[in-house]
Amino acid sequence: MTVMSKRREKVFENLGKDISNLEDEDIKNGIAPEHPDQISAAEKTQFALRRTQKETEAYESLFEDICRSLTEVSGASIVNLFPLHFGFNVPPVHSTYNP
C-alpha cells in the first residue's frame, strides 16, 4: 500500500508541475482563468498531493506499529515483513535460517 501511495504522490507532483506550467503560459499569453473566483486546478492538485502524502505517512506508521507489535508478541523478525512493505518477492528468513 505504501508503494502505491508513493506512486500516486509522484503522479500528483508531476500533474501539479504540468498544471502550473500551463497556467503560467496562459498568464503570459493574456488568457484569463475561466473561473477566477474558484479554486484553481493547481490548488486542487496540491490538495490531492497533501492528502496522498498524509495517507503514505499513515501507511508507514501503521506498518511500523504492526512490525513492533508482532516482534513484541511473537518474537518474529521484522525482516520477514519487508517483502509485504516494499513489494519484494523474497523467501522468509525463517525458511533459510538454521541454527
How do residues 19-69 score in pLDDT, each as one tens digit?
989 888 988 998 877 777 788 888 889 999 999 999 999 999 998 888 888
Predicted confidence band of residue 97 (pLDDT cuts 50, 70, 90): very low
> What letter represents residue 10's amino acid?
K
Structural domain boundaries enclosing 83: 2-96
Q: What's the CA gap between 87 and 6, in Å, rounded?
A: 12
Q: For helices 2-28 and 41-74, what crossing angle results, to 10°?
A: 170
Phi, psi angle pair for 32, to nearest 5°: -80, 150
pLDDT score at 75? 60
CA distances for 63 relative to 6, 54, 73, 86, angstroms: 14, 14, 15, 11
pLDDT score at 92? 52
Number of domains in the chain: 1
- 2, 63 Cβ separation under 8 angstroms: yes
